[in-house]
Amino acid sequence: MSDDLHDLYQDIILDHNKRPRHYGALADYTHTAEGYNPICGDKITVYLVVRDGRIEAVQFEAACCAICKSSASIMTEALLGKSLQEAAAMQQRVTELLSTDIEVDLSVDGEVAALAGVRKFPARIKCATLPWHTYQTALKWECET
């Protein structure tokens, strides 16, 4: 990864931390879950509206570090409008980006690629994966209607 590219990834992370997208509780959600990372103290709640197998809305609230908040913000942008299959593939890709040395490509992975920068800091990987795991947990939750 060139230094320029690395700076670009860092810019994306910082920008999402400063201006998190889709932040706040979502009324009328169909799925929700809370996630907690005891290593860092990150707490996050993910809200989803899933209809006909598609993610129509996704928002989050968090009391967490910059990496966790950025990852959650990037996740909401990445998942919005996706089918559950596409979202599962995206989640798989993020796990790969964070846990292996595979090449990343902004043109293929979009802003999710920026998360690969976190793998240089192994202690923070759980901060980056927490929102994605919480999303997965939320899918298993069904509200009583």
Q: Which residues of the chain form contacts with Zn ion (CB under 5 A)? A: 40, 42, 65, 68, 127
Q: Are 75 and 47 in contact (CB under 8 A)?
A: no
Output 42 or 111, the one with its CB closest to Zn ion.
42
HSE, CB side, 13 Å, CA atoms: give it for residue 75.
34
CB of 114 to Zn ion, least distance (A): 16
Rounded to the nearest 5°, which phi and psi values hold at 38?
A: -65, -20
Output 85 or 99, the one with its CB closest to Zn ion.
99
Q: Are 18 and 119 in contact (CB under 8 A)?
A: no
CB of 19 to Zn ion, least distance (A): 19
* CA angle in degrees (0–180, nearest 5) for 118-121-125: 60
CB of 25 to Zn ion, least distance (A): 21
CB of 68 to Zn ion, least distance (A): 4
Task: Give the C-alpha separation, 86 to 88, whole Å.
Answer: 5
Output 5 or 40, the one with its CB closest to Zn ion.
40
Output 97 or 127, the one with its CB closest to Zn ion.
127
